[in-house]
Amino acid sequence: MKLLFQLSLITILFTFFTGCASIVSKSNWPISIDSNPDNANVSIVNKRGIEVFKGKTPTALKLKSGSGFFAKESYVVTLSMNGYETKKIDVECKLNGWYFGNIILGGVIGMLIVDPATGAMYRLDTDAVNETLHKSNSTTELKILNIKDVPESLKNNLVKL
């Protein structure tokens, strides 16, 4: 009888003081980033404008799904390379299905405190970014002029070296 009471008490405590998504799921999600051609610059900025990652393709990392209490995170992945057009890809987080397991397992504490605080109530919407960068159409041309050939309207912008 004493053992049954202890098991019941542990089960009740487990149910009311845990979060289902926090137990079954996670709050940091893997994402792989690749480009064609390889070796492109990667910059990832969160919704607050803070750069959370800088590197080269191909790469793999983990991104947080929560950005605060009951707040999901979002990111902008920027791929750039000299001679190619820059690409920006939005990566969003959405509600984690395991969050609703709190109705059965995690209880009110898991639904209103644990999962929202840990960010486990959200998950990354995508697990991979794979983009093809296209050659840039713009060309940069350096033209050397004699001072006599510079128009008068532009001479005020010249800097003496």
Per-residue pLDDT of the chain (161 residues; tens, 9 = 90+): 677 666 665 555 454 444 455 555 677 889 999 999 999 999 999 999 999 999 999 999 999 988 888 889 999 999 999 999 999 999 999 978 776 776 666 567 666 767 777 777 888 899 999 999 999 886 667 778 888 888 888 888 888 87
The verdict on residue 146 lying in a domain is no
The verdict on residue 15 lying in a domain is yes
Return d(Cα 51, Cα 58) in angstroms, integer: 18
The verdict on residue 154 lying in a domain is no
Return d(Cα 118, Cα 65) in angstroms, integer: 9
Closest C-alpha among 40, 63, 59 to residue 51: 63
Count of domains observed in the chain:
1
> Which residues, listed in sequence order, are joined to residue 44 by a DSSP beta bridge?
53, 77
Q: What is the pTM for the complete model shown?
A: 0.69
Instruction: Report residue 18 as tokens.
Output: 């845990």
The verdict on residue 159 lying in a domain is no
User: Quick one: which H or E segment has residue 48?
Assistant: none
The verdict on residue 147 lying in a domain is no
Q: Which structural domain, as residue segments, surrounds residue 100?
A: 2-137
The verdict on residue 96 lying in a domain is yes
Return d(Cα 88, Cα 80) in angstroms, integer: 9
The verdict on residue 156 lying in a domain is no
The verdict on residue 27 lying in a domain is yes
3-state secondary structure of 86: coil
Which residue type occupies 64? K
